[in-house]
Structures are given as structure tokens and as C-alpha cells.
Amino acid sequence: MQAFAALLDALSYQPARNAKLRLIETYLRETPDPDRGWALAALTSGLDFPAAKPALLRGFGEDKIGAELFHLSYDYVGDLAETLSLIWETDPNAGPPPTLGEVVDTLQTATKMQTPAILKRWLDSLDATGRWALLKLLTGALRVGVSARLAKQAVANIGNQPVDAVEEIWHGLTPPYRPLFDWLLHDAPRPSSNAGGAFLPPMLANAIERAELDALDPAHFRAEWKWDGIRVQVASSGDVKRLYSRAGEDVSAAFPDIIEAIDFEGVFDGELLVRRDETVAPFNDLQQRLNRKVVTPKMLKDHPAHIRLYDVLWLEGEDLRALSFDQRRARLEAWNAEKPRARFDVSPLVVFTDWAHLAQLREQMTSDGIEGLMLKRGDSAYLAGRPKGPWFKWKRDPMLVDCVLMYAQRGHGKRSSFYSDFTFGCWREAAGKRELAPVGKAYFGFTDEELRWLDKWVRDHTTNRFGPVREVAPELVLEIAFDGIARSTRHKSGLAMRFPRINRIRTDKPAAEADTIDNLLRLLGTAGVENPAESAYVTAP
Amino acid sequence: MTDTLDPRSWLYPTPRGLYCKPGDFYIDPAVAVPRAVITHGHGDHARPGHRKALATPETLAIMRTRFEGMADTSQQPLKYGESVRIGEVDVELAPAGHILGSAQAVLAFKGQRIVVSGDFKRRPDPTCPPFEPIPCDVFITEATFALPVFHHPSDMGEIGKLLRSVATFPERTHLVGVYALGKCQRVIKLLRAAGWDKRIWLHGSLMALCKLYQEQGVDLGDIAHVGDAILETFRGAIVLCPPSALADRWSRRFADPVPAVCSGWMRVRARARQSGAELPLIISDHADWGELCQTLKDVGAPKVWVTHGREEALVHMARSLGIDAEALHLAGREEEGT
């Protein structure tokens, strides 16, 4: 437990991806089974305990030092689990601290009545960091900035395997993953990929610009719309029916409507969307359905999920990945024609004669529901990762707006001495006065040289400081590029930008001439987009 | 001892600082005054411009290093354990264990004894003699870390964390944020005790006080100014700098540095994150909660006045021990200190 606690502690302060990987790898190598397996499960959200309720922890704290001192302490620290871990004292007579395996085994068998006494004994035997980690584990939120994907990358690294080799077998494994470590570290055979319901690493595309297209032969390529949803994989075999994110996270629980509608065997690549009748709702609507533990009937009714299929990887027990795109496409369309389904449809191909024609189609497509075009070679096999050449994404030109820099915050890692996170705003009238309202935050889009320039500008124009944040004089105009905009109740301005980045620094433009909130409101799309399968310039092949 | 004498009648806070009337002097005043008694050299306690200043010889040396124009101040050194009469008050300085030269001011008037402890800690520090509990009628204590959440772990354990990080990231430079006076030299001594014999690099602003410590007989081993040494020199090295330099342009000369901060505040995660530390090290020159409570018991004063920090919790604790405790608000004390 102490080693796991030290790992969580270090991860929570470490912003850099590579350093996080190094920390996890070192832990996995040095920690014996089954503890490292349980740790891996904790990092990939594969552990589920009966939660320790806040009232229990508060009661522990008040018993320990009295209500008055406990409340003063909690007030100062601001986190219940952390406060309790800090005020509790280690009892040197409490015996050795529990191992992670012991914690997991005990909690899985202990009754609700037994838990408080067991927990107290553990708190006595651990140090402050150990107590913090234990309580974080029990309250169900590690929050150390590690995604499941990153943890899998680390475990792949210790066996010098590509992460996709781990992904392919991951969903057939259960904690504490002994066969996985035996394979990666001790030359045991690779655990078999449970073909049914396993996540298959997806094929990704490289970005391309108009000018680069001329080097390519349009006859070799097929085009399809890039829908503005979430790239997913549907996998079904026997009783196992799953929905995975592009990164291999199992998101089935949040989309019972999709899972229920699976009446087939196979693995499909597609885009998860919210669709009402024939209309694809804006991305913002889909966001409402993500990361929800409980999906209410109302949510299911008002935000119905839908999958628009791009590709088929397995069909009825047959691996199709080695086939060409055209062959897979033919299988996909035949399968779909056999039995059309309400929650699944096939993304249509966009027929075009040459690049100029395709560019024209792309220009004409102004809907919110589409991010751009995908170009796929007709002869391309389905390859894991992001191979160079077979697939391209040709995104829509971003929207541009001129904003005024308002606040800057220091970055992390290599950027820790630079003001590199920028909050910007647009003008609005409030109570007869013209004022700036923050509309978004961006931390990329600029070159290293521009970052140095921005950093110096921020330091030279600071008017106020709030901890790590500096307020600056409202004098610098930034041209912000973004992919979409939607209403949001979480932001002061009532607007949320998608993927905002700094496109240009407009030292030539006076701040007073930057855009207004009204200009931004005009960019808000209509409710959604008609299904382009029915529009004039898209036809089935 | 006179039971009738109200201690507040002869020692009380004023806008200029804590004033001792029968001696006509201030203790650690916030502004320049005709006569000052200085407990230690940190900036919120020692200030330049007093006409007369009484302090330990080490504290006076620190003040001469830090401030210009100390020649205009009449300096009266008083060694630990020696006594001097100022006006009607007997003044003695006792070790406070905080930093080199740090002292508690022990004031005796008409049979009543008040100890102004200044800043103090109770655990061993290789750069100064340990705190000495002095029985008294009134004990004035700091409250920087006066909450039960503050328990400083073993300092060698924290140094161990630093050395383990150096081993995990051997190609990176460990930049350790430390206060220039006291923390810097203590961390160097702790590193030496943990077996780190290599050169320890220092930010320019740490050089003068380290030199002074060396002159005062504190052996710091091989230390050198970062200066213009080339980047390669700092791979795997430990570099000490003031905490503000971690986010400063100065830090850009190092390739992919690991920012570490040594401070008692690092005990609380939100505070550690605010500091920008990737490696927070809980090393403090102030008493933690346990030390504060123990000290109240050790000095056995029936009255305790609590200054700068989280007074509320310590007053609550003292009262539960049957002590007549109250908060004493002093001008010029900043919260940040370690």
C-alpha cells in the first residue's frame, strides 16, 4: 500500500506524460503480484469498492481531535479525505501497514458493519500519504491525471510491447492480471485475445491540406463525411456487447440504448452521435450523455444515441481487417441492406470527380454536425495506429474571431516558467458600459517563438495577480480559431468554444475593435443538420 | 512574582510592533524605531534603520549581510544565556532553534517573566542550537502551522524523497526552492548528512548568506554559483534557488528541470500545487502542531498569547489545557514563512 501511495502521490504532482509513464513503469516492475495488478486495476478504473461515505470519514475526524479542530482543519485543507489523512496519527503499535492486495481482499469480503473497524486499523498503520491514497481509493476518485490508456501504455512498455498488443487482449483480462505480467515480464505466452467483445486498436488518419492533395490521384481515394461526434467501436460476440471509445475505454454503461439495439455479431468502426429523427444534433448534445454514471429515461428519450458506421473489422466470426477498404465497404453495405436498423446506419460515400470538385462540396457543407471530410484509399487494409498514406482527414476551415487577452496562467512541465494558458474575452454591453466577458481558454496554436513573445508581453502588462494567474491590461488582440461553438451554462458568457487555439497575434489591431459577444452569437449554428444522405450532392455509390 | 501586575501593562502591541514600556524598546518592530530587540534575521522580524538594535552576534552578522547602512545602527550583541538590563527590564536571549542566531527574548520586570519566542521549532537543526524551554508567566508563541493537519515528517525522510527522484530522473536537473536564510543552509547540511557529496549549485541570491554561514563555522561542503556554467553541467545535479525563481525566466537555462519546493506548506496538496512543485518536500523551520502543543506544556505558562498564523486553533487547544490563551495581533507579520 505504501508503494502504491508513493506512486499516486508522485503522479498527482507530475504534469508530464513521459515522466508519468516512467513512474508507473518503475512501480509495475518493482512491485510483486498481485499488488501491481490491483494498482493497474485502480488506475484503469477496474476496481469498485463499496464507497466509504463522507459522513463516516467526518465522524472519524471528529472523534479523533474534536469537532472544533476538525472543522477548522477541513476548512483550511478543503478536501475531506485529505484532511482526515493529515490529522490522523500513525500508531507505531498498529502493526505493519496492509498491502494493496490485502486491502482489496478484505474489502471484498467484509460486511458493512466490519468496515469502520478495519479502516481505523489501516489508518493507524499507514503514514499520511498512505492514508490519503487509501481514502482516495475507497471514495472512488483517484484524480491523479492518469487515463486508462496511459496506464496501459506503461504496462506495455515494461514488456517492450506496443500498447495495441495490450489493448487487443485487455478486455479478456481481469484484475490482478497475473497472466498479463507473466507474458510481459516472464516470457509466458501471450494471453489469448477473447475475440468476442475485445477492443481492436483503431486505424487513424493524418491531417491534410488542400495544396497537398494535388500530389495524390483522386481515383485511388474514397471520401466520406467526418461526423462531429465521438469515434467508437461496437463489438459484439455471444452475450458480450460493448461500446468502446477510440482509446479503448468501455463506455457501454452510458449508452444502454445502443447496447440494447445490438442484434448482430461483429466489430464495427463508427461515429457516436445524438440523432433526432433524421437530424444529427450538435456535438454539445452528445456531450450531455458522456461521463454519466446514471442515464435517466428522460435523457434517453431527449438525447437518443445513434451510430453511423464507417467500417467493419469482424463480421460473424470472420476477421476482415486484411481486406481492402472497398471490399470491407461492400460487406458493410450488404450487411446493412439485409436488415436496416434504427440505431445504426452506414455513413454514405461522397462521390466526386476530382479534388476541385471535392473542395467545392466541402465548401458547400456548412452544417454543424460535420467536421470535414475523410479520404481513404480504396485498397487500404485496416491497420492499427496512424499509418502514413492510406487515410487522411481534411477538416473544415476553423471559425475565426478576434478576442482580447484577459488572463494568463503558467503552464506545466517544460512550460512551467511560461505564461502559456490564455483566457480571452469579447466585448459586451452591460448596464450601459462596455466590458470584456471571457469566452474561452487556449494553450496552443502558437510557435515556441510566439510563446516567448506572449510570455514577455504578459509579464510586462500584468495589472493583478491571483495565485498562479495574472490579469493583464486589456490591450492585446488574439485571433482565435475554433471548430464549433455552443451555448453553455457553465461559462459566464453563456458560450463554449470547441477546440479553441491561438491562430494569430494581432498586434496590428486595437483592442476596442475586437469582436463582440453578439458577433459570436451569430456564429451559433441552427439546431442540427439534415441527413446529407438525402441532399443533392451525396449519393450512394 | 506579583499576581496583581497585568502583563499587558508593560508589554503590548502597537502599530509599530510589540512594545516594552519599562524598557522603552520594541521587539521585531515593523518599522525603524529608536531601540529594537531582534529575535532573528528573517525579513518580517529584522528590518534596517533602527537607531539601536540588540540581537545575538549571529543575527547582527546576518543583518549586516542583508541590509545596507547597518553602520548607522548601534549594534549590541548579546550571546545566548547572557543578560542585560534595558531601562527597568532584564533582557536575555535563549536559543529558538529556528535558524542560525535565532533567539527567544526573555523579559523580566518586577518579578514577572514574559518569553517572546519569535519563530521556533523543536526538532534538531544542524545549523543552530536547539530551542530551550524557559518557564515563564506569559509565553508568546507563533502559530504559523497551528492546525492538527500540520505534522512535519522526518526531514531526512524528505531528503530521501529528493535523492530518490534524482535517481529516477538522472538526466534532469532538480531545482529546489528554498528560502535564502536558514532553509537553504539546513537543506545543504541535510543533503550532506544523507551522503550527497557532489557539488550543490546555488542561485546567485543564495550565495552571500551561505558564505556568511561558512564564516560562522557551518561547513556546507562543495557549493558553487550557477553563474554561466553550461547546461550539460546540470544534468543530474541539485540546484538550490529561491522559490520565486522556479517560475522565473532564470529557470529556463536548465533542461527539463524537476521543480521541488521545501516548505511546511507542502503538507497540503492544494498549497503544493499552487507552488508549482512537482516534488513537494515538507521541510519547515517552524514548529508543527505537535511541537506547538508540546511547547505550551513544557514552558508551563499560565498565560499564552498567540501571534501570526492560525491563532484560532491554538487558542482553542491551549484553553482546553486550562491555559488562559488569547490571540495577539501584531503589525507587519506576513503569513508566508516556513
Mutate to test the interface with B, among A73, A127, A136, A452 (most CBs of B within 10 A): A73
- Using the beta-carbon criterion (under 8 Å), do A468 and B276 form an inter-chain contact? yes
Q: List, for residues B180-209, the tens digit of each pLDDT value.
A: 999 999 999 999 999 999 999 999 999 999
CATH of the domain at A479: 2.40.50.140
CATH of the domain at B36: 3.60.15.10
Q: Are strands A501-506 and A477-482 parallel, antiparallel or unpaired?
A: antiparallel
Give the Cα separation of B110 and B115 in Å (integer): 14
Give the Cα separation of B54 and B27 in Å (integer): 10
Kindly state whether residues B144 and B18 are assigned to the same domain.
yes
Q: Residue B247 pLDDT > 50, yes or no?
A: yes
For A383, how many CA atoms within 13 A lie in the half-sphere containing its CB? 13
Kindly state whether residues A390 and A435 are assigned to the same domain.
no
Which segments within chain B are labelled E, that is strand? 11-14, 17-20, 25-27, 35-37, 52-55, 74-77, 83-86, 89-95, 103-109, 112-116, 138-143, 174-177, 200-202, 223-225, 238-241, 258-262, 279-281, 303-309, 324-327
Kindly state whether residues B145 and B25 are assigned to the same domain.
yes
Q: Which residue has the higher pLDDT, A368 or A229?
A: A229
Alpha-carbon dihedral B285, B290, B295, B297, rounded to 10 degrees:
180
Q: Which 3 state secondary structure label does DSSP give A360?
A: helix
Of A26, A82, A467, the CB nearest to B269: A82
Kindly state whether residues A292 and A377 are assigned to the same domain.
yes
Of A22, A78, A128, the CB nearest to B270: A78
Kindly state whether residues B49 and B72 are assigned to the same domain.
yes
Kindly state whether residues A323 and A344 are assigned to the same domain.
yes
Report if residue A254 sits inside a domain.
yes
Report if residue B31 sits inside a domain.
yes
Q: If you average pLDDT over residues A406-418, what whole number do you get?
A: 79
CATH of the domain at A113: 1.10.3260.10
pLDDT given at position A525:
54
- Using the beta-carbon criterion (under 8 Å), do B147 and A73 form an inter-chain contact? yes
Report if residue B334 sits inside a domain.
no
Q: List, for residues A24-60, the tens digit of each pLDDT value.
A: 999 999 999 999 999 999 998 777 776 677 888 999 9
Give A9: exposed, middle or buried? Use CB within 10 Å, 0-12, 13-18, 19+: buried
What is the number of structural domains in chain B? 2
Report if residue A463 sits inside a domain.
yes
Q: Residue A373 pLDDT > 90, yes or no?
A: yes
Report if residue B259 sits inside a domain.
yes
Kindly state whether residues A8 and A95 are assigned to the same domain.
yes
Q: What residues make up the domain containing B78? A: 7-149+286-327
Report if residue B40 sits inside a domain.
yes
CATH of the domain at B212: 3.40.50.12650
Q: List, for residues B18-74, the tens digit of each pLDDT value.
A: 999 999 999 999 999 999 999 999 999 999 999 999 999 999 999 999 999 899 999
Q: List, for residues B81-120, the tens digit of each pLDDT value.
A: 999 999 999 999 999 999 999 999 999 999 999 999 999 9
Give the Cα separation of A204 and A208 in Å (integer): 13
- Nearest residue on chain B to A466, alpha-carbon basis: B274
Q: List, for residues A131-187, the tens digit of each pLDDT value.
A: 999 998 887 777 788 888 899 999 999 999 999 889 888 877 888 999 999 999 988
Residues of chain A contacting residue B263, judged by C-beta atoms under 8 Å apart: none
Kindly state whether residues A372 and A409 are assigned to the same domain.
no
Kindly state whether residues A408 and A370 are assigned to the same domain.
no
Residues of chain A contacting residue B268, judged by C-beta atoms under 8 Å apart: 76-77, 82, 86
Mutate to test the interface with A, among B271, B278, B320 (most CBs of A within 10 A): B278
Of B150, B251, B267, the CB nearest to A417: B251
Report if residue B132 sits inside a domain.
yes
CA-nearest of A331, A367, A99 to A225 is A367
Report if residue B333 sits inside a domain.
no
Residues of chain A contacting residue B278, judged by C-beta atoms under 8 Å apart: 13-15, 19
Average pLDDT, chain A: 87
pLDDT given at position B224:
95
Q: List, for residues B277-305, the tens digit of each pLDDT value.
A: 999 999 999 999 999 999 999 999 999 99
DSSP 8-state secondary structure symbol assigned to residue A435: E
Q: Identify any residues that bridge with A403 across adjacent strands, giving them in sequence order.
A: A478
pLDDT given at position A150:
94
pLDDT given at position A52:
72
Kindly state whether residues B185 and B76 are assigned to the same domain.
no
Give the Cα separation of A477 and A427 in Å (integer): 12
- Using the beta-carbon criterion (under 8 Å), do A86 and B148 form an inter-chain contact? yes
Q: List, for residues A180-214, the tens digit of each pLDDT value.
A: 999 999 888 888 765 557 788 889 999 898 889 99
- Using the beta-carbon criterion (under 8 Å), do B168 and A26 form an inter-chain contact? yes
Report if residue B338 sits inside a domain.
no
- Using the beta-carbon criterion (under 8 Å), do A13 and B273 form an inter-chain contact? yes
Report if residue A148 sits inside a domain.
no
Give the Cα separation of A135 and A139 in Å (integer): 6
Report if residue A258 sits inside a domain.
yes
pLDDT given at position A3:
92
What is the DSSP track for B72-100?
Answer: GSEEEE--TT-EEEETTEEEEEEE-SSST
- Using the beta-carbon criterion (under 8 Å), do A128 and B279 form an inter-chain contact? no
pLDDT given at position A413:
61
pLDDT given at position A4:
95
Report if residue A154 sits inside a domain.
no
- Can you count the helices (H) and strands (E) in chain B? 7, 19
Kindly state whether residues A118 and A41 are assigned to the same domain.
yes
Alpha-carbon dihedral A277, A278, A281, A282, rounded to 10 degrees:
-170
Kindly state whether residues B174 and B319 are assigned to the same domain.
no
- Nearest residue on chain A to B244, alpha-carbon basis: A417
Q: What share of chain A is helix, strand, coil (3-state, %, to 5)?
A: 40, 25, 35
Q: What share of chain B is helix, strand, coil (3-state, %, to 5)?
A: 30, 25, 45
Q: What residues make up the domain containing A37? A: 2-139
Kindly state whether residues B171 and B203 are assigned to the same domain.
yes
Distance (Å) from the alpha carbon of A139 to chain B's nearest alpha carbon = 17
Kindly state whether residues B90 and B166 are assigned to the same domain.
no
- Cell numbers for A241, please give them: 456487447
Q: At what angle do helices A35-43 and A148-158 cross, to 10 degrees?
A: 150
CATH of the domain at A262: 3.30.470.30
What is the number of structural domains in chain A? 3
- At residue A436 the predicted structure's pLDDT band, cuts being 50, 70 and 90, is very high
pLDDT given at position B233:
85
Kindly state whether residues A376 and A417 are assigned to the same domain.
no
Q: Which 3 state secondary structure label does DSSP give B209?
A: helix
CA-nearest of B166, B188, B164, B193 to B178 is B188
- Using the beta-carbon criterion (under 8 Å), do A23 and B168 form an inter-chain contact? yes
